[in-house]
């Protein structure tokens, strides 16, 4: 086994530092997956119940969530 491991960057495809919105979204999604469930309906309900809305301020829908995940490269 090597004594040192190669450097790994966990965000190799990221072109910028996460914005405060992106960090809050990531933390909230982690909390939802931990406490509420893994299904898309669980995620949408969790985001909306926590009042973390879309970037335009609307409640999350399946379409808006999928579009945002695509935009973020997730």
User: Could you read off the pLDDT of 38-66 as tens digits, one per residue?
Assistant: 999 999 999 999 999 999 999 999 999 99
The distance from CA 19 to its chain's CA centroid, rounded to whole angstroms, is: 12
Average pLDDT, integer, range 27-48: 98
Domain ranges of the chain: 34-72
Which helix (H) or strand (E) segment is 71 a member of? helix 62-72
Average pLDDT, integer, range 21-43: 97
Per the model's pLDDT, the better-predicted residue between 73 and 10 turns out to be: 73
13: pLDDT confidence band, cut at 50, 70 and 90?
A: low
CB burial of residue 34 (10 Å; 0-12, 13-18, 19+): exposed
Predicted TM-score (pTM) of this structure: 0.78
Tokens of 26: 């990531």
What count of other Cβ atoms lies within 10 Å of the Cβ of residue 45?
Answer: 15
């Amino acid at each position: 086994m090597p004594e040192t491991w190669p450097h790994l960057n966990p965000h190799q495809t990221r072109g910028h530092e996460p914005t405060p919105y992106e960090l809050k979204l990531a933390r909230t999604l982690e909390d939802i997956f931990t406490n509420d469930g893994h299904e898309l309906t669980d995620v949408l309900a969790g985001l909306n119940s926590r009042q973390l809305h879309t970037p335009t301020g609307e409640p999350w829908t399946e379409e808006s969530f999928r579009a945002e995940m695509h935009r973020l490269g997730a």
